[in-house]
Structure 1
Amino acid sequence: MTDASTRASEAAESLRAATGVDHFDIALILGSGWGGAADLIGEEVASVPAADLPGFDAHAVAGHSAEMRALRTEDGRHVLVLGARQHYYQVRDAGKVAHAVRMAAAAGCTQLVITNGCGSTRPEVGPGSVVLMADHINATGATPLEGATFVDMTQTYSPRLRDLALAIDPELPSGVYIQFSGPQYETPAEVRMATTLGADLVGMSTALEAIAAREAGLEILGLSLVTNLAAGIGGENLNHQEVLDVGSSSGPRISRLLADIVEGMR
């Protein structure tokens, strides 16, 4: 067992003790704007400050929760909401970024929904749009994997779960997400580069978490909320308050969408 898996197992044991839930089924990472979905998915069984679990630090990014929440759906499944998302720009350690995903897998989860707020390189997919992640580009120069760990990334984002999401909302566009390291927003030149590489969405999360989830064998669904047009696309300066404002205004609609998707996941 590697050091990372040992730490994940220790965190999972602490999570079980704190929540009283022996086995979780689905994990959710709720990015900017997505937090309200938890209240629609099921009854809260327990809530644990992330900093109380091994391997997590206190969280301070506006728009993100610092709690791990245990939910129970009407049909008896247990959903783990992974609060205190540890962004790469905060910790500069891909292993720490992946820790929550690895804990979820150690706690029994077999499915993971990753959400985020992001910029769009496509003017027709503007703020408030939800995009199904079809693939990603990892532009951080980092990975949570160590040594000769060769993980297949061919179908990172589950076609089956994407079909489920499209059955609920057939109008959802698909796109490729690129993760930059942040915390600065991308320059217009970097956005042009990303577009040339095939990216439709730009952000500062998700790819490293997805790599760890693939290593753990989780089935992944990725959903992005477009909070702004990327630098040089819309002509406006970028700021985090814009991200929060679009997340707030879109929250009820996208939360209902995510809750409906989770209801259909098996």
Structure 2
Amino acid sequence: MTPHELAAVIRDWAPAAPAPKVAIVLGSGLSGLADAVADAARIAYADLPGFPRTGVSGHSGALVLGRLAGVPVAVMAGRAHYYESGRADVMEPAIATLKALGADTLILTNAAGSLDEAMPPGTPMLIADHIALGPNPLIGREGDARFVNMVDAWDPELRALAHARAKALDIPLGEGVYLWFTGPSFETPAEIRMARRLGADAVGMSTVPEAILARYHGLRLLGLSMITNLGAGMTGRPLSHEETKAEAARGADRFRTLLLAILADLAGPTGGA
């Protein structure tokens, strides 16, 4: 089934839902934001051919259509990861379908480990750039479209908007480079030292393949990481997925407030929504 055919299925399933202008992928511990969608139509990924089968706790696996802060949205409550299938392009059908539904902007969120003590757990971090330590999701494509420009992939205007909203709300907002490790094992202290020398500010196991696919499909891109821990070896404590989910839940209110404020601006005449 092509993305346009799947988009038609979704429209038939939820005929009253507005065509989304903004798509949002929710990371570990952040799926509760989907409950805030007004006039929501909820469709399980299992009912959408090609959508990911999420096998990670904290990722509920549903597409939610409706409105957030007045903006028509498509919210993906959960994602699939490279480490679940060994496929970097596992999110391709979903992202292509979001574009076919009408979205022109994709907001990617995740839980991440900080490499900067000044950006502790509970801090949202704006993604300014990324480093990929895994395979490119466009491998095997044909034609010139696969040579995607990644300069300013994380939209500078959207990042400026996020900073303005955070300042107005008095929410501390970090900004930095996100480095993608494939997982599922957590990084070693040596790998964290390497990441810091490479110029990374946070690490995680998602987001970068989706960012490349988003730019391939011509979507504007904004990324927000919820810092849930400091990197391996920085505190002397072992890392765990339970800590990631717990810290994401504790910071979810601040994260939600910031994201809704950004969306509210996108609903205005200058936001394009």
Normalising to structure 2: TM-score of the pair? 0.89
Q: Does 1:31 find its partner at 2:32? A: no
Tell me the SS of whatever aligns to 1:221: strand
* Uncovered stretches (5+) of structure 2, i.e. residues with no partner: none
> Aligned partners of 1:141 and 1:113: how far apart in 2?
22
Tell me the SS of whatever aligns to 2:120: coil
Partner residue in 1 for 2:83: 89
Partner residue in 2 for 1:253: 254
Choose from 56, 60, 80 the match for 1:65.
60
Deviation at 1:155? 0.6
Deviates more, 1:65-74 or 1:231-240: 65-74
Moved over 6 A (4+): none
Q: Does 1:165 find its partner at 2:162? A: yes
> Aligned partners of 1:137 and 1:251: how far apart in 2?
25
> Aligned partners of 2:69 and 2:191: how far apart in 1?
45
Deviation at 1:7? 3.2
Partner residue in 2 for 1:147: 142
> Aligned partners of 2:133 and 2:50: how far apart in 1?
25
Read off the aligned partner of 2:27 and give its amino acid letter.
Answer: G
Tell me the SS of whatever aligns to 1:169: helix
Tell me the SS of whatever aligns to 1:96: coil
Tell me the SS of whatever aligns to 1:133: strand
Tell me the SS of whatever aligns to 2:12: helix
> Aligned partners of 1:189 and 1:263: how far apart in 2?
42
> Aligned partners of 2:160 and 2:232: how far apart in 1?
31
Compared CA separation, residues 67 and 93, structure 1 to 2 (3 A): same
Contact 2:18–2:66, Cα closer than 8 Å, also in 1: no
Tell me the SS of whatever aligns to 2:2: helix
> Aligned partners of 1:197 and 1:110: how far apart in 2?
32
Contact 2:159–2:222, Cα closer than 8 Å, also in 1: yes
Partner residue in 2 for 1:112: 106
> Aligned partners of 1:59 and 1:141: how far apart in 2?
20
Read off the aligned partner of 2:238 and give its amino acid letter.
Answer: N
> Aligned partners of 1:56 and 1:113: how far apart in 2?
18
Deviation at 1:252? 1.6
Compared CA separation, residues 224 and 84, structure 1 to 2 (3 A): closer
Contact 1:8–1:106, Cα closer than 8 Å, also in 2: yes
Identity rate, percent: 39
Give the number of aligned pairs: 259
Contact 1:35–1:255, Cα closer than 8 Å, also in 2: no
> Aligned partners of 1:205 and 1:194: how far apart in 2?
16
Tell me the SS of whatever aligns to 2:126: strand
Compared CA separation, residues 240 and 43, structure 1 to 2 (3 A): same
> Aligned partners of 2:199 and 2:92: how far apart in 1?
25
